[in-house]
Amino acid sequence: MTLKTPLSPTAFAVLAGLAPGPRSGVQIIDGLEEAGARILGPGSLYRLLGEMVTEGWVARAATEGESDGRVRVFGLTERGREVLDGEASRLGRMLRMPGVVTDPGRS
């Protein structure tokens, strides 16, 4: 499967989860759950990360303590940041369309 834009909500969430810096799979899932996005398990995450590595959006990051191979850390590449920023801009434009987001203060 080749990833394409516009991104699926899951792909967008994973890229956004890597925006603050390199993260392990557990850190990505925990961060998404803290944000209220319970969208994938470890198997799906690592499959998606593999596709993102193939696309050049994400790369393995070398870290201390990774010598046993169990902890895999990933970070956004420059291309991944461009894809994330482009998708965030596209979604922002959609949210600004008339009638899409209502003012919660209105009765």
Chain segment 41-97, per-residue pLDDT in tens: 888 899 999 999 999 999 998 765 555 567 889 999 999 999 999 999 999 888 888
What pTM was computed for the model?
A: 0.81
Which of 3.40.50.261, 3.40.50.920, 3.30.470.20, 1.10.10.10 would CATH assign to domain 9-94? 1.10.10.10
For residues 92 and 1, the model is more confident at: 92
From CA 7, how far away is CA 70, in angstroms rounded? 29
DSSP conformation letters of 72-85: -EEEE-HHHHHHHH
On whether the CB atoms of residues 15 and 76 are closer than 8 A, the answer is: yes
Residues 13-48 pLDDT 10s? 999 999 999 999 989 999 988 888 777 888 889 999
